[in-house]
Amino acid sequence: MRELSLDGPDGRLRARRWDVLVLGGAIPGLVGAVRLGMAGLRVLVVEEDAAARVPAMLRDPFFLAGGGSESVLQRCLTALGVPLIDRRSIEDAEIAFQLLLPNARVDIGLPARTQEELVAWGLAKPELARDVVSGLADAARAEAEELLRAPIVRRGARRAAPTPGPTPASRHLRGLPAVLRQADAPLRELLDAQVRALANVGIGEPSPEARARLLGSALAGGAVFPPDRELRTLLRKRIEQLHGEVRTLGAPFEFVQIDGHPGITMRRSRDAWIGRALVVNAPPGLVANALESWEFEVPEWLGRRTPQRRRAAIHLRAVRDVLPDALASRALIFPEGETDAIALSVHPSERKRYVDLAARQTVDVSADLAAAHDRIEASVRALLPFSEKKVARVADAGAPLWDDEFALGELDDGGWPTEVEIRANASPLVYHLPRDAMGAVGAEGDLLLGWHAGDTLAAALS
């Protein structure tokens, strides 16, 4: 990190100062910015131009569990001070999402409906379906309680991960219910694919606790945001209410230190944006690669771990009448012969005759992205009979260079329930929000990571 003076040899440098500079527009950084603002700190969130141009429907989570005022989502939004009128506008859908198989369409949602569906499609006998669904529902509630009670972010010295011990008979067993071992291979494989689609990780096996939360959370139904109050919209609005700022950046930047404070400067600009602390809210390996391509110094604290998997995402627009009546607003498509599901969500369009479709699938970063987009589109079109000339792909906004929320990290230890280390450097004060560390519990992990990281940083700066 280059150290600069405001009165350098190349002329006077203009420094804009905040308490915290958040680099990257992913959900954890937006949530953390809100908590920092609530603590009275001035915050700047910096997004890459290319990321800001990606449609919100592609960047927002595919799925967040419902469950009323005590759900993880609603508890987080309450802690963020999101107004009651906005929180009440989020509805709970009985069907969380559908599992679209080559020969089946399974509705996953409230327990009674899910149990009936597993039996109707031959995935489980009635007694086993009842026990699997009730076991997952209990497990998901237990994990939600633990998620809301846990510190999430490590506040002191590094501690060893706790060794699992015997569980008292009076308390629900953490992790997956034992009854799943009685399920036949097709049901187990379907649940495994569901975990891969909902987790925000590219490589690694989520822990039993994380799997239980991912699988069981859908049994509370799905949270449905109104068109003008999506999650990202609510968070940005709340940042602005707290006098924080969100800016976009298209030019190359480098990390600098001015008067002991970290920040960034832009190439061919005399401006510097600095804070008492800097938060890297983007994949460190991608940030490092960008700095190197611009021929800037890569700080040691940044690290060079580059994502190996990412989500390929496309935006389609369709005439409303081509959607099958039975298609839910969220679905996981399982193309024959493929390992990873396509997450499809349906959104109202500004033009009432149309709907917008967001479709995402995990692929290797080395894969031909254009070909992946074509495969995804073909799978979606196969669901829409008589859709010729009634479905069109909306132009791609372009892939971000460093602020890429579609990049997926790796799990080293299964993720949750281990605590997350966010301190990257002590002087100057730099933090990192590692989405992969909480990615095993999906979008809820993003919310909780941002919430607790914001509180931890606010305490450090108080």
Q: What is the per-residue pLDDT for 14?
A: 86
pLDDT at site 80 = 98
Inter-residue long-range contacts of 364-369, CB under 8 Å, 24+ positions, other chains counted = 364/308, 364/309, 365/306, 365/307, 365/308, 365/309, 365/310, 365/407, 367/312, 369/312, 369/399
Taking only the tens place, the pLDDT of each residue in 425-435 is: 999 999 999 99
So what's the pLDDT on residue 8?
62
Helices first, then strands: H and E counts in the chain: 14, 22
Domain ranges of the chain: 2-61+229-306+403-461
More confident residue, 455 or 12: 455
- Quick check: 39 pLDDT over 90? yes
**Structure confidence at residue 48 (pLDDT):** 97
Q: Collapse the DSSP code of 17 into the 3-class scheme (helix H, G, I; strand E, B; otherwise coil) and give the result.
A: strand
Question: Are residues 124 and 132 in contact, defined by beta-carbon separation less than 8 angstroms?
Answer: yes
Closest CA to 123 of 140, 141, 107: 107
Per-residue pLDDT at 159 exceeds 60: no
State percent of the chain over pLDDT 70.
95
pLDDT at 139 over 90: yes
CATH of 2-61+229-306+403-461, one of 3.10.200.10, 3.50.50.60, 2.60.120.10, 3.20.20.10: 3.50.50.60
pLDDT at 168 over 70: no
Strand bridging mode 253-258 / 2-4: parallel
Residues 361/342, Cβ–Cβ less than 8 Å: yes
User: What does the pLDDT average to over 138-160?
Assistant: 83
Which phi and psi angles does 6 have, rounded to 5°? Answer: -65, -25
Determine the average pLDDT of the residues in 26-50.
98
Alpha-carbon separation of residue 355 from 92, 224, 227, 329, 341 (angstroms): 21, 16, 12, 11, 22
- Residue 282, both tokens: 């983007």
State mean pLDDT over 95-101: 96
Asked if pLDDT for residue 10 goes beyond 80, the answer is no
pLDDT at 169: 34
- The two tokens of residue 57 are 């429907």
* Stretch 173-177: mean pLDDT: 83
Predicted local distance difference test score (pLDDT) of residue 386: 83
pLDDT digits (tens, 9 = 90+) for 200-246: 999 999 999 999 999 999 999 999 999 888 999 999 999 999 999 99
Sorting pLDDT into bands at 50, 70 and 90, what band is 412? confident
Angle between helix 231-241 and helix 27-38 axes, rounded to 10 deg: 30
DSSP label of 181? G
- Over range 66-81, report the average pLDDT: 94
pLDDT of 11: 55
Beta strands in 24-134 (DSSP E): 43-48, 91-93, 95-101, 104-109
Please compute the mean of the pLDDT values over residues 68-83 and round it to a whole number: 95
By three-state DSSP, how is residue 106 classified? Answer: strand
Instruction: Report angle CA 210, 340, 100 to the nearest 5 degrees.
Output: 95
Strands 330-333 and 91-93: unpaired
Is a pLDDT exceeding 90 seen at residue 450? yes
Q: Residue 9: its pLDDT value, please?
A: 58
pLDDT of residue 166: 38
Residue type, 99: L
Q: Would you give the DSSP letter of residue 388?
A: T
The residue type at 143: E
**Which whole number is the average pLDDT over 113-117?**
97
- pLDDT higher than threshold 90 for residue 100: yes
Q: CA-to-CA distance for 70 and 220, rounded, in angstroms? A: 11
State CA 236 to chain mean position distance. 16
**Helix intervals (H) in 39-108:** 49-52, 56-59, 72-79, 84-88
Burial class of residue 160 (count of CB atoms within 10 Å of its CB; 0-12, 13-18, 19+):
exposed
* Tokens 């730099």 sit on residue: 430
- Of 35-49, 86-100, 258-272, which range is least confident? 258-272
10 class by beta-carbon count within 10 Å (0-12 exposed, 13-18 middle, 19+ buried): exposed
Residue 96's pLDDT is: 97
Query: Which of 297-335 are b and which e, b meaning 16 or more Cβ less than 10 Å from the residue's Cβ?
Result: ebbebbbeeebebbbbbbbbbbbeebbeeeebbbbbbbb
For 278-318, write each residue's pLDDT tens digit: 999 999 999 999 999 999 999 999 988 899 999 999 999 99
